[in-house]
A and B are shown apart, each in its own frame.
Chain A
Amino acid sequence: QSALTQPPSASGSPGQSITISCTGTSSDIGGYNYVSWYQQHSGRAPKLMIYEVTKRPSGVPDRFSGSKSGNTASLTVSGLQAEDEADYYCSSYAGSNNLLFGGGTKVTVL
């Protein structure tokens, strides 16, 4: 099993929107609606931002949204804020009780 594919970096100015992609296969992202997204600030533990492709845990701003098309999932951050600068990781269920992570995307707020 290979890691999911994410772009290494993304950037935007405050107030703009950015979208991060996460590409897998029909055996993981394409086969299940169990994609989650995590935000990790430097030196901190990851934080769950999106689960089951589109759902937000309580307390996560609605500026964060998730979607999926085929074998690719996406995380969109609208109204970018300075505090959104962090690394973002996608994860997907891959069948047979296996989980996969993406390689991570570093988001820079210009």
Chain B
Amino acid sequence: QVELQESGPGLMKPSQTLSLTCTVSGGSISSGIYYWSWIRQHPGKGLEWIGYIYYTGSTYYSPSLESRVTISVDTSKNQFSLKVSSVTAADTAVYYCARVGATTHPYYYYAMDVWGQGTTVTVSS
């Protein structure tokens, strides 16, 4: 059973660069049938897709965030990471990593079937 676990600092100051890592266990990030995604949820608000990465390193970002976001993958560690530059209070959110199907049956095309528990990031001076 695949599990995802986010890790990273809980508190940051404005203008810093946020760095989060998602560790994949119980399966290989290099399987080639999934994208690996980051999603965030502002306090009391809805879900926002940030972007995803394929094990080859190909990245795809939300147009609204792509100027400040970088997603990378380390297949040797079975991890993928998120960096958000120049954070402000508006980046305060719960950040989730999730697995996204990259092909259809029997996989879940463009759907997130496994999620991490989420990690809270607060940006405050």
Do the two chains bind? yes
Question: Which residues of A are interface residues toward B (Cβ below 8 A)?
Answer: 1, 3, 32, 34, 36, 38, 45-48, 51-52, 55, 57, 89, 91, 93, 96-104
Choose from A3, A36, A55 the contact partner of B110 (Cβ within 8 Å). A36
Choose from B49, B108, B110, B116 the contact partner of A45 (Cβ within 8 Å). B116
Chain B interface size, as a band, is: 20 to 34
Complex contacts, B49 vs chain A, CB 8 Å: 91, 98-101
Indicate whether A104 sits within 8 Å of B47 (C-beta atoms), given known contacts A1-B63, A1-B64, A52-B104: yes
A36 and B62 within 8 A (CB)? no
Choose from A52, A55, A89 the contact partner of B47 (Cβ within 8 Å). A89
Complex contacts, B110 vs chain A, CB 8 Å: 32, 34, 36, 51, 91, 93, 99
B117 and A45 within 8 A (CB)? yes
Closest to A55 in B: B108
A3 and B46 within 8 A (CB)? yes
B:76-109 near A, CB below 8 Å: 96, 100-101, 104, 108-109
Complex contacts, A101 vs chain B, CB 8 Å: 39, 46-49
What 3 A-B pairs are tightest by C-beta distance, nearest first?
A51-B111, A97-B60, A36-B111
Indicate whether A52 sits within 8 Å of B64 (C-beta atoms), given known contacts A45-B116, A89-B46: no
Question: Which residues of B are interface residues toward A (Cβ below 8 A)?
Answer: 37, 39, 45-49, 52, 60, 62-64, 96, 100-101, 104, 108-113, 115-118
User: Shortest Cβ distance from A66 into chain B, in angstroms?
Assistant: 11
Choose from A3, A47, A98, A102 the contact partner of B63 (Cβ within 8 Å). A98
Q: State the CA gap A96–B37 with chains docked (Å).
A: 15
Complex contacts, B63 vs chain A, CB 8 Å: 1, 98
A46 and B47 within 8 A (CB)? yes
Q: State the CA gap A45–B47 with chains docked (Å).
A: 11
A51 and B47 within 8 A (CB)? no
Q: State the CA gap A52–B112 with chains docked (Å).
A: 11
